A and B are shown apart, each in its own frame.
Chain A
Amino acid sequence: MKHLLSTLDLSRDDAIRILDIAEEMAAVGTREVKKLPALRGRTVVNLFFEDSTRTRISFEAAAKRLSADVINFAAKGSSVSKGESLKDTAQTLQAIGADAVVIRHWASGAPARLAATDWIDAPVVNAGDGTHEHPTQALLDAFTLRRHWARARGTGSLGTDLAGLKVAIVGDILHSRVARSNLWLLRTLGAEVTMVAPPTLLPVAAGSWPCTINYDLDDALAAGPDAVMMLRVQAERMNAAFFPNAREYSRRWGFDDARLAALDAHGLAETLILHPGPMNRGLEISSGAADSSRSAVLDQVSNGVAVRMAVLYLLLSGDQQRTANETQG
């Protein structure tokens, strides 16, 4: 594994290896001194073309706990105003001597471009690109789900996958990099996925995806999912006629208190609620649901640091053992 660009091209072995190492990293996070010397002297650049404080500080904490030096580079430029080019920025980072680049970009495919060109040699970690993928989010979700799934079956999580787990992903699938990354990774790990959304917020070709499509959230909940992943919805989508208004959206596709109660009514005591954050309370999720004992939202945040430590460690540690993927390919 030279880069982490997407979960679509992540093998099952690599995924489980990342999750297993993340378990070790999580143990470090519970110690009094939360620091390992693994990446001392290495430089990790957080290259952010799009603001995301929570993702940036998660990567920053991960790198620092591995004793790496961290440079935060907030690049100017957006889809409307062109700033410094990706090429110039990458070549600058190469000249500075970056050992790894964590990139967040508003444009789908920007991390893949960095990895494919000769602008920079360093490993590239996709920290979310446009509406394409957000692989570390999917890995931290899988980590969270794996612990839950193992606990429910009374086993340890090391080495295990998510075979048999049923996950409903609810919301703006069309524009969600979290949904895409989760779909591929959950499938790779053996979980079953149901996408729940208004038809306007699903890709027209979603029928070719390895998941079930359901337009009806209540129906999807009655089917007994082990986890429900709520996605952030931008209220402005109603201006492009994706749905009539925020009220109708939350009535049909929001996880409100009534649906929280419905989980109990269905006897689904173990069903988790996940959300990648930041949450629009009252739109896609009610406060009652977000703050309930079912909510894994804060676990997701802390697991995010452990998973990102594992990814940086794997990509950067000198004694990296070759993965099955690489030796075959």
Chain B
Amino acid sequence: MNPTHATGDYLIRGASLLAETTADLLVSDGRIAAVGPAAATDARAASATVIEAAGLVALPGMVDLHTHLREPGREDAETVETGTRAAALGGFTAVHAMANSNPVADTAGVVEQVWSLGRRSGWVDVRPVGAVTVGLGGERLSELGAMADSRARVRVFSDDGICVSDPVLMRRALEYVKAFDGVIAQHAQEPRLTEGAQMNEGEVSAVLGLAGWPAVAEESIIARDVLLAQHVGSRLHVCHVSTKGSVEIIRWAKERGIQVTAEVTPHHLLLTDELVRSYDPVYKVNPPLRREEDVMALRAALADGTIDVIGTDHAPHPSESKECEWAQAAMGMTGLETALSVVQHAMIETGMITWADFARITSTVPAAIGRLGDQGRPLAAGEPANLVLVDPAARWTVDPAKMATKGRNSPFRGLELPGAVVATFFRGHPTVLGGALNTPLPLDGGA
């Protein structure tokens, strides 16, 4: 029933490529077969399904370096199937699945399981992230090489959720993954400075009587890690940068040629800790929502390239994990189905970046960091047809109950946002059409 290869040809008419030039695109056999006048005159165009794309922006499929798909272990919160449906609807064609599952993705067996689940689901490429340390315990290195050599071909390693706080272990991890061109993605959070932390430490936490998560706990780890990366000549990726001070340290490191890349979440580009005054745990996340001046610094850093990529940190939770006291609530927010709109709202509508920049920070660069050869490619003839069509003029109101993710914990609920994903092509196959899920493209049954 389900095709194992992209079937059907698609003629996308009059799309605005990166909102720069208007052209037709012919998609055939998993690839962009032709672009421009050649598309309509190609022999395959006559029998192709026509998609009228006037007014739509064509972008390379989005690549997320940071999601929590919860499988194996917390299938009540999310599965690879539901998480990747959400991803396709959000305009993604590849997602990295963080390692904090149960069991932890710290062996070739677990990463291959997640990779297989992704292949079987067929909505996007699922790239497992390997745990840096056994069981995220922060004591011994996982079998990083075995994960790299597995069929999942892991290149991104992270204990995300927990910081690799031991400086020696961090140094060794950075050095070791050079053997297979890997990268360590650090969740920068000094553990002793954040014991029991509930929210950003500042004026709001002082009033609310919630234990503070100080900016210095993030910044001190980033400062240490960029120096370690410099010392051993390794690649470092900083997850979910959330403070103005972190931006300054990363800018300093980049000026010195240190191989550091940095990520920001959509929610840190839009929301502040003022929202915590409601004590509604939908706003509880790690790292926490920060101050307005942090939000502004993050936006500026994303625009000037100090921050390289958007990572959603999509973190679905069952409702009981949020329908409780703030201190009892789980940390995390969903993000896959709102990322494009939030970034359009915070960055494009404010004039800080263009759609071409958007393609860079959501596709080209994250694919390069994760070493995904067939993602994040240009919209050009011969390239893999991983692409998305966006209606930038659409406006919609966020309703978590209507999302494909199992998580209802969207901090954007009720917000009116711009931009809608009209179609997503994954390896030439439309996983999303007309703004709704179409069919998946399962790859070899995951065998």
Contacts and interface: CB of A to CB of B under 8 A. Distances in A.
Interface in A82-117: 82, 85-87, 105-110, 112-113, 116-117
Nearest to B278: A116
Nearest to A176: B209
Contact of A107 (B201, B207, B323, B326): B326
Interface in A41-84: 79, 82
Nearest to A110: B325
Contacts of B327: 79, 106-109, 130
Contact of A205 (B198, B203, B280, B328): B203
Interface in B176-218: 198, 201-203, 205-212, 214
B206 A105 contact: no
A212 to B, nearest CB: 16
B206 A109 contact: no
A160 B115 CA distance: 71
A113 B206 contact: no
A87 B322 CA distance: 11
Given A116-B278, A116-B280, A109 B325 contact: yes
A38 B313 CA distance: 54
A175 to B, nearest CB: 8
B206 A108 contact: no
Given A113-B279, A116-B278, A205-B202, A108 B209 contact: yes
Contact of B325 (A113, A133, A177, A205): A113
Contacts of B326: 107-110, 113
B interface residue count range (under 10 / 10 to 19 / 20 to 34 / 35 or more): 20 to 34
Contacts of A308: none
A78 B116 CA distance: 41
A189 to B, nearest CB: 18
Contacts of A116: 278-280
Interface in A183-234: 203-206, 208-209
B356 interface: no
B209 A177 contact: yes
Interface string A159-180: 0000000000000000001001
A107 to B, nearest CB: 4
A86 B279 CA distance: 14
Interface string B158-174: 00000000000000000
Interface size band for A: 20 to 34
A87 B324 contact: yes
A107 B212 CA distance: 14
Residue from A105, A113, A208 whose CB has the most chain B CB atoms within 10 Å: A113
B212 to A, nearest CB: 7
Contact of B206 (A85, A86, A203): A203
Nearest to A111: B279
A209 B206 contact: yes
A130 B201 contact: no
A250 interface: no
Interface in A4-22: 8
A275 interface: no
A129 B325 CA distance: 11
Contacts of B279: 108-110, 112-113, 116
B255 interface: no
Contacts of B278: 112, 116
A85 B209 contact: no
Contacts, number: 75
A148 interface: no
B320 A208 contact: no
A206 B207 CA distance: 9
Interface string A128-141: 01111100000000
A131 B323 CA distance: 21
A105 B202 CA distance: 23
A169 to B, nearest CB: 14
A113 B278 CA distance: 8
A209 B327 CA distance: 24
Nearest to A113: B279
B325 A180 contact: no
A174 to B, nearest CB: 9
Contacts of A109: 208, 210, 279, 325-327
B323 A180 contact: no
A209 B279 CA distance: 20
A3 to B, nearest CB: 13
Contacts of A85: 320, 323-324
Nearest to B327: A107
B411 to A, nearest CB: 15
A132 B324 contact: no
B207 A8 contact: yes
Contacts of A86: 324-325, 328
A38 to B, nearest CB: 32
B214 A204 contact: yes
B208 A132 contact: yes
A53 to B, nearest CB: 22
The winner among B203, B207, B280, B324 for most chain A CB atoms within 10 A is B207
Interface in B122-179: none
Nearest to B206: A203
Contact of A204 (B201, B208, B210): B201
A49 to B, nearest CB: 9
Contacts of B198: 108
Contacts of A177: 209
Contact of B207 (A117, A130, A180): A180
Contacts of A113: 279-280, 324-326
A82 B208 contact: no
Nearest to A119: B323
Interface in B304-332: 320, 323-328
Contact of B209 (A131, A204, A206): A131
B206 A206 contact: yes
Interface of A: 8, 79, 82, 85-87, 105-110, 112-113, 116-117, 129-133, 177, 180, 203-206, 208-209
Given A109-B279, A113-B279, 18 more contacts: A8-B207, A86-B328, A87-B324, A105-B325, A108-B198, A108-B326, A112-B278, A112-B279, A129-B209, A132-B210, A177-B209, A180-B207, A203-B206, A203-B212, A204-B202, A204-B214, A205-B201, A208-B206
The 5 closest A-B pairs by CB, nearest first: A109-B279, A203-B206, A132-B209, A131-B209, A107-B325
29 contacts: A8-B207, A79-B327, A85-B320, A85-B323, A85-B324, A86-B324, A106-B327, A107-B325, A108-B209, A109-B210, A109-B325, A112-B278, A112-B279, A113-B280, A116-B278, A116-B279, A129-B209, A130-B327, A131-B211, A132-B208, A132-B210, A133-B209, A180-B207, A203-B205, A203-B206, A204-B201, A204-B214, A208-B203, A209-B206
